[in-house]
Structure 1
């Protein structure tokens, strides 16, 4: 059975645009997934990336075209300039970590609900009320938003170190225990083919 380490940021529009594709592919192939939310800005700094605010205007202009195209292609709604972006991704990331440790709900639905709250619903995913609502919607105890903060912070920091060591430099990033890595929501088809033994 294959295992996938899923590195992502709850602030990433591209991780949002992945939708539930990873979960569908994992279920299709009987693969397991470990969710590893991380600090994407710190990852950029460690791996030669540049935060959007510091990128050349031509790169941001392309991003402004590419994101709506990708959303339309996937039949998804996307607000290119959400009201609460960037915001502090730590509370939502800690909640995903706590939910993964607790079990009992749908982690993919939780991650997607959080990113949808940012990129569609104009809600601040740093807010406890938003995080609690997403936890409840995905079948988890909303009180997880208030628990395991120290453990969440430690795991969040460890996820960044593991990402750097695994050659991760962006989000979403999928690392399979076969040694193959896939960067971006537009590589999910390749991940599917790889797990099927065709790539």
Structure 2
């Protein structure tokens, strides 16, 4: 009998498209009883080695079309979005480490871990709060059912958590992935939240992963 589906999920709390797909990913995982392996990474570092550009360094044409796509997907996913968040791009590393500390204690399947991930993305892209602010991180963690202050202390004090975030960033680069969100199922990558339907199809059908040499 086939085992439980496992979805590796590379993302960042400041990734717009990770936010847009966040609810749909969790719904897909629930539908298939799949496990999501959360892998927060340094998006700006990924950009620097893969040819990507931060939003404000892109051409005016690409910036304009991005706003159009934001509005389309806001309607399709039925979610709130602030087009120009006040605190974007904030440094999400401390919040990423809080997430990693929570995973270390409770595992990826823990309900509050799912909720903290979703709420942290929402904090940037809908609530327009500062995900780099320790007080904000604690409030989001507490609202998610986690012990925010204690996890924040771990995130600040334990170098292993920073090393882990760096290692995940190195991992995504080593696998030749270049953007977020990146969903990986049985080593087949799906780049972008608009590939969630393709991810759903491969899990549903049970087909063999596509390999391209």
With the shorter chain as reference, the TM-score category is over 0.9
1:96 to 95, 99, 102: 99
Identify the range of structure 1 (77-86 vs 98-107) with the bigger mean alpha-carbon deviation: 98-107
CA contact (8 A) 1:20 1:109 kept: no
Q: What is the SS of the residue equivalent to 2:183?
A: strand
Larger radius of gyration: 2
Separation in 2, partners of 1:48, 1:18: 23
Q: Which runs of 4+ in 1 moved over 3 A?
A: none
2:126 to 117, 120, 124: 120
Query: Is structure 2 residue 70 aligned with structure 1 residue 67?
Result: yes
Taking structure 1 as the reference length, the TM-score comes to: 0.94
Deviation of 1:105 (Å): 4.1
Taking structure 2 as the reference length, the TM-score comes to: 0.88
Match of 1:197 in 2: 205
Count of aligned positions: 198
Separation in 2, partners of 1:16, 1:154: 25
Q: RMSD of the alignment, in Å?
A: 1.4
Give the gaps of 5 or more residues in structure 1.
none
CA contact (8 A) 1:20 1:108 kept: no
Separation in 1, partners of 2:88, 2:53: 16
Deviation of 1:44 (Å): 1.0
Q: What is the SS of the residue equivalent to 2:38?
A: strand
Give the gaps of 5 or more residues in structure 2.
208-213
Q: What is the SS of the residue equivalent to 1:139?
A: coil
Match of 1:157 in 2: 166
Deviation of 1:72 (Å): 1.4
Separation in 2, partners of 1:138, 1:90: 18
Deviation of 1:61 (Å): 1.0
Residues 50-61 of structure 1: pairs in structure 2 closer than 5 A: 50-61=53-64
Deviation of 1:192 (Å): 0.9
Query: Is structure 2 residue 153 aligned with structure 1 residue 146?
Result: yes
Match of 2:182 in 1: 173
